[in-house]
């Protein structure tokens, strides 16, 4: 399919998602080279899975041998212990994208992507081909198979809005299963996969997109301002992607080897959602910290309650951009990103995260929740 108007399916890389290509295994691989933080010790055994069959066989084999398994994508949301991981690390490197019209709804298009496909390249292709629904998710440094786990979202969009199916290996039954969007249990930066860590290994995901050249209505105020439009307007897809990338680069949220601030795991903490019974005590804490009449930014949360920016809480608990301790640092451009400026350790990064979390709890009575997945270390 060369665009939204084509009839035939097309693949990226010449194979259908999951076609067998072969695997590579090694020992003594340092995981720091496979995470965006550039932190983490040695893997007991490292398998690069180039096909779906490789993924399934590597995980089943390790499970049968009683070995711990770490499934690794781009490592953009991962904090790995300095001691490394003693079991088998399966790095997902599968390829293949299939695009076709939805047989049940001829007005929409289905895009099925192998778990190892680069997410930003998928977004770029959707924008180029006139497929609407993921344009605000440009520049996110991860793989397609990781997006359902975190329910990846940015600038007013989440993958939960477009994912209709996920194929995964159920490690308990040993079978490959198909899960619809509802079964994925999506929530704010949450899914059934995240609630049940290690139970499933995602093999591919299918997204339902709309053909067109204009974006979905712009929801996020910062993005609307950058585009020079009001919330609710639709904008050409390419303009949305360019604006999102510019905003992300301004916050060092696009990977750049020359930029130490991009050596992070993205936003380290989620924005807390306050229920009505928490609001009064939080308002009291704000007034005690900032003085009578002080207020705070807030936004309605999709499931109810009010979402408070974690960055605001961190800054007003006393941590500014560029704050450094234990060899780790808050990004000089984005308070929510904790970075490895070079020569740091996972232990140091976690110590900084604990200091921030404990201070926010002490000042505002709110416990920040970390976004990344921790391997061999706890916050």
Active site residues: 189, 267, 371
How many CA atoms are closer than 13 Å to the CA of 340, on its beta-carbon side? 22
Q: Give the pair of three-digit tokens for residue 356.
A: 């921030």
Beta bridge partners of 110: 100, 208
Which residues, 6+ apart, have CB-to-CB distance to 333 below 8 Å?
250, 251, 252, 261, 321
Measured from the Cβ of residue 3, the count of other Cβ atoms closer than 10 Å reads 13
In angstroms, the CA 203 to CA 113 distance is: 9
- Which letter, b or e, does each residue of 160-181 get, where b requires 16 or more Cβ atoms within 10 Å of its Cβ? bbbbbbbbbbebeeeeeeebeb
Cβ–Cβ < 8 Å for 332, 322? yes
Is the Cβ–Cβ distance between 55 and 90 less than 8 Å? yes
Q: How far apart are CA 101 and CA 238, in angstroms?
A: 22
**Residue 350 in contact with residue 40, Cβ under 8 Å?**
no
Q: Where are the beta strands (DSSP E) in 74-194?
A: 78-80, 85-92, 97-102, 105-114, 131-132, 153-154, 157-158, 163-170, 176-180
C-beta separation of 265 from 79 below 8 A: yes
């Amino acid at each position: 399919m060369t665009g939204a108007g084509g009839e035939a399916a097309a693949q990226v890389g010449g194979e259908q998602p999951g076609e067998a290509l072969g695997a590579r295994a090694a020992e003594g691989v340092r995981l720091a080279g496979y995470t965006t933080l550039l932190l983490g010790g040695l893997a007991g055994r490292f398998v690069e899975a180039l096909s779906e069959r490789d993924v399934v066989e590597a995980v089943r084999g390790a499970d049968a041998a009683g070995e711990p398994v770490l499934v690794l994508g781009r490592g953009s949301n991962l904090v790995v212990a300095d001691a490394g991981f003693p079991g088998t690390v399966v790095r997902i490197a599968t390829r293949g994208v299939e695009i076709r019209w939805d047989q049940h709804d001829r007005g929409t298009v289905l895009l099925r992507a192998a778990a190892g496909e680069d997410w930003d390249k998928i977004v770029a292709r959707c924008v180029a081909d006139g497929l609407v629904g993921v344009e605000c998710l440009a520049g996110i440094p991860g793989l397609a198979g990781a997006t359902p786990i975190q329910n990846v979202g940015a600038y007013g969009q989440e993958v939960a809005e477009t994912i209709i199916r996920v194929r995964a290996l159920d490690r308990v039954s040993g079978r490959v299963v198909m899960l619809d969007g509802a079964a994925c249990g999506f929530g704010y930066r949450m899914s059934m996969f995240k609630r049940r860590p290690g139970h499933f290994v995602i093999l591919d995901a299918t997204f339902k997109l709309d053909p067109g050249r204009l974006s979905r209505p712009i929801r996020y105020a910062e993005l609307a301002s950058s585009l020079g439009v009001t919330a609710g307007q639709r904008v050409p897809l390419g303009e949305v992607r360019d604006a999102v990338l510019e905003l992300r680069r301004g916050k060092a949220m696009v990977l750049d080897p020359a930029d130490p601030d991009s050596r992070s795991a993205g936003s380290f903490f989620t924005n807390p959602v306050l229920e009505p019974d928490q609001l009064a005590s939080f308002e009291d804490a704000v007034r005690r910290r900032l003085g009578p009449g002080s207020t705070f930014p807030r936004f309605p949360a999709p499931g109810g309650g009010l979402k408070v920016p974690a960055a605001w809480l961190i800054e007003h608990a006393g941590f500014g951009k560029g704050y450094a301790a234990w060899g780790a640092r808050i990004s000089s451009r984005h308070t929510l990103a904790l970075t490895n400026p070079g020569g740091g350790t996972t232990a140091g990064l976690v110590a900084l995260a604990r200091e921030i979390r404990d201070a926010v709890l002490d000042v505002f009575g709110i416990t920040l929740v970390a976004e990344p997945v921790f391997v061999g270390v706890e916050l």
